[in-house]
Amino acid sequence: MVLNSLSLFRALLFLSLATSAFSMRPYKEGLTPYFYDYVCPQALPAIKRVVEAAVQQERRMGASLLRLHFHDCLVNGCDGSILLDPTPTIDSEKLAFPNNNSARGFEVIDQIKAEVDRACGRPVVSCADILAITARDSVVALGGPSWKVQLGRRDSTTASRTTANSDIPAPNMDLPALVSNFERQGLKVKDLVALSGAHTIGFAQCFTFRNRIFNDSNIDQALAKNLQSYCPRTGNDANLASLDPTPARFDILYYNNLLTQKGLLHSDQALSTGESALELVKSYSYNYEAFWKDFAKSMIRMGNIKPLIGNQGQIRSNCRRVN
């Protein structure tokens, strides 16, 4: 009887330990919002604290951090490749035309990485996931919607400046080119219009809208004249203009601007030139709820572009270089 009881105790102990060990492992199949719940429940709160502090210090930083996630996902998937510095073996995406002297916020990502690794006790959270979480937290910090970020991405060990140059949408693209660009990523027109709403926050440099303010016909002439005063035909390439009238608030004025030909970029105003895209623009221009709901869904879809999972890639100790 004693032996039977001892055997039963050992069996129950083994089962308990096995169950506990299993529950402590991160999810390995696909992405899930709960990936870090057991391995490091402190991870997401740590990231949020740093993001909120960075955005409070500089409101523009929210748009910059959101843009990093966009430019990461559209180049060979959401794998943190945009964060890699140039080396003899890394053709850094930071040097690609859409990012060079434009992409910013890398120091904030470094700070987040250090803080989350300290909170977790070791490198557990990938740089790719940090970008995805930071994008959401930046939107929320500027008054926008929240969503459950799918997690479990791993980090790439390569980068591609060539792919960044070809796959990140250019500010002079017309609607067919934009639609084609998004379709190659598995995204639809609805995703294009909703995700373009990210331009309700932030700024653009003069060189990205110069051609529009001097040559486009579908632009409010008072706006064009005002912009020409500090973005002349030559020079002042880095001068900034806000993408909509409230660049530090995640609202719907971006879409209102498009209906009055006040989109800053040619690619922004292009959304008003196609029937299906224009209907979405009109809907979002007065319906916060519709825009926020679709933006959140499209952010999740974009975040699912070709993630590295399981044993693919690595978890970088330093987001700027491979281990």
Residues carrying an active site annotation: 71
Q: At CA 77, angle to CA 273 and CA 200, rounded to 5?
A: 40
Nearest residue to 151 (alpha-carbon basis) of 120, 135, 130: 130
d(CA 51, CA 49): 6
- Pull the structure tokens for residue 197: 């709403």
Nearest residue to 216 (alpha-carbon basis) of 159, 143, 266: 266
Distances from the Cα of 9 to the Cα of 4, 21, 51, 189, angstroms = 9, 18, 48, 60
d(CA 256, CA 108): 32
Tracing tokens 């050992």 back to the chain, one arrives at 10
Nearest residue to 151 (alpha-carbon basis) of 292, 319, 28, 323: 28
Contact 103, 292 (CB under 8 A): no
Helix count and strand count (H, E) for the chain:
14, 2
User: What end-to-end distance do the CA atoms of the chain give, in Å?
Assistant: 56
Instruction: Give the number of other CB atoms < 10 A from CB of residue 78.
Output: 29
3-state secondary structure 36-93: CCCCCCCHHHHHHHHHHHHHHHCCHHHHHHHHHHHHHHCCCCCCCHHHCCCECCEECH
Helix axes 189-196, 175-184, angle to 10 degrees: 110
